[in-house]
């Protein structure tokens, strides 16, 4: 299970148990084997465990397709609302937010500290491709045929734990499509040389807990944390068009463009290449909602974008 149990529900084999029900379940299960004082202690432990779950409420919002700067500005404003407490004041402490969206026109995003010199901005301008900087780290991503998410939380959880939690939700959402994605267990070696795809492209540099299929990276994610507020961005390619980033890289004289294209082919994969077709954006949104509900029970609520307008 990816996210810890909320304080109000606990799903067990498809059954949703309230905190009161869980206490009764524990009492019945352990009354025959534990003395009364130990059972009472265990009951208190269960209540404390539930009350200290990191996310008491999970919200989702679908903002559709927007230009690159609009998408990144939206996330900067949501993160600011988490940092000054406006989001928590409206939606509750220990709440988190998933945002699902797409890009129109297509865009290249750069990691927060990534030099822009690695991208041929003039070629992007001529092709009508936006170039914007993400508030998160990592390397460049070409957002074309893609399902994109942002995840926001105010939690003391370690970054790596949230990274794992988020990818487990996506992993479960893909299961109904017959996609059995696996975690990358360690960081992959990057190719050596003056310039390679890994030095520019997010998708050829894998990190622990990222999702892969057949040894190829499927989801690219990056984080930024300020105090306890964390923003995680992620891209799920619908087709192989994410590899078109190669056409916008500013190659040096020592670079071999063909080697870089081959590296991206070898290390990355898309939903179309796995399934033989491109799933509809709305279907992926519903699969994400279903995966979250199966993990959180009734503690998942879908918002309309207008419900966030007063804190943006």
User: How far apart are the C-alpha atoms of 28 and 42, rounded to whole Å?
Assistant: 12
**What are the structural domains of the chain?**
9-51 (no CATH), 57-311 (3.30.930.10)
Mean pLDDT of the chain: 81
Say which residue the tokens 């993990």 belong to: 295
Query: Higher pLDDT residue, 247 or 4?
Result: 247
- Residues 114-141: b if buried by 16+ CB within 10 A, e if exposed: beeebbbeeebeeeebbbbebbbebbbb
For this structure, is 202 an active site residue? yes
Predicted confidence (pLDDT) at residue 214 exceeds the cutoff of 70: yes
- Structure-token pair, residue 243: 């590899």
Q: What is the pLDDT of residue 205?
A: 56
Q: What is the pLDDT of residue 21?
A: 43
Say which residue the tokens 């622990």 belong to: 208
Q: pTM for this one?
A: 0.79
The whole-number average pLDDT for the span 41-64 is 63
Predicted confidence (pLDDT) at residue 187 exceeds the cutoff of 60: no
Residue 281 binned pLDDT confidence (cut-offs 50, 70, 90): very high
Q: Please pick, among 60, 184, 202, 246, the residue that the annotation labels catalytic.
A: 202
Q: pLDDT tens for residues 59-101?
A: 999 999 999 999 999 999 999 999 999 999 999 999 999 999 9
Cα-based distances in Å from 148 to 84, 267, 282, 311: 25, 20, 12, 22
- Residues 86-110: b if buried by 16+ CB within 10 A, e if exposed: bbeeebeebbbbbbbbbbeebbbbb
Q: pLDDT tens for residues 266-277?
A: 999 999 999 999
Q: What is the pLDDT of residue 259?
A: 79
Predicted confidence (pLDDT) at residue 53 exceeds the cutoff of 60: no
Q: pLDDT tens for residues 242-259?
A: 999 989 998 776 667 777
Q: What is the pLDDT of residue 307?
A: 97
The answer to whether the beta carbons of residues 233 and 152 sit under 8 Å apart is: no
Predicted confidence (pLDDT) at residue 202 exceeds the cutoff of 90: no
The whole-number average pLDDT for the span 227-245 is 95
Query: Higher pLDDT residue, 303 or 187?
Result: 303
Q: What is the pLDDT of residue 13?
A: 33
Q: pLDDT tens for residues 134-160?
A: 999 988 999 999 999 999 999 999 999
């Amino acid at each position: 299970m990816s996210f810890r149990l909320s304080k109000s529900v606990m799903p067990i084999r498809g059954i949703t148990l309230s905190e009161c029900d869980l206490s009764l379940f524990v009492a019945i299960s352990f009354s025959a084997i534990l003395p009364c004082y130990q059972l009472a202690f265990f009951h208190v432990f269960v209540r404390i465990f539930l009350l200290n779950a990191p996310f008491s409420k999970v919200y989702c919002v679908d903002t559709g397709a927007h230009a690159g700067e609009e998408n990144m500005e939206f996330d900067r404003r949501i993160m600011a609302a988490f940092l000054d407490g406006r989001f928590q004041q409206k939606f509750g402490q220990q709440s988190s937010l998933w945002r699902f969206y797409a890009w129109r026109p297509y865009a290249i995003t750069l990691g927060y500290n990534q030099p822009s010199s690695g991208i041929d901005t003039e070629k992007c301008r001529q092709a009508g491709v936006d170039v914007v900087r993400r508030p998160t780290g990592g390397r460049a991503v070409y957002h074309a045929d893609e399902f994109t998410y942002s995840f926001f939380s105010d939690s003391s959880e370690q970054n790596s734990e949230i990274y794992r939690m988020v990818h487990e939700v996506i992993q479960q959402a893909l299961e109904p499509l017959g996609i059995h994605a696996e975690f990358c267990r360690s960081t992959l070696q990057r190719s050596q040389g003056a310039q390679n795809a890994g030095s520019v492209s997010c998708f050829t540099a894998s990190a622990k807990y990222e999702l892969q299929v057949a040894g190829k990276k499927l989801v690219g994610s990056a984080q930024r944390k300020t105090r306890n507020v964390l923003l995680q961005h992620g891209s799920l390619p619908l087709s192989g068009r994410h590899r078109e980033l190669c056409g916008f890289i500013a190659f040096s004289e020592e670079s071999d463009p063909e080697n870089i294209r081959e590296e991206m082919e070898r290390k990355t994969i898309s939903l179309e290449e796995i399934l033989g077709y491109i799933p509809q954006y709305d279907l992926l949104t519903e699969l994400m909602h279903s995966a979250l509900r199966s993990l959180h029970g009734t503690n998942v609520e879908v918002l309309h974008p207008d419900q966030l307008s007063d804190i943006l």
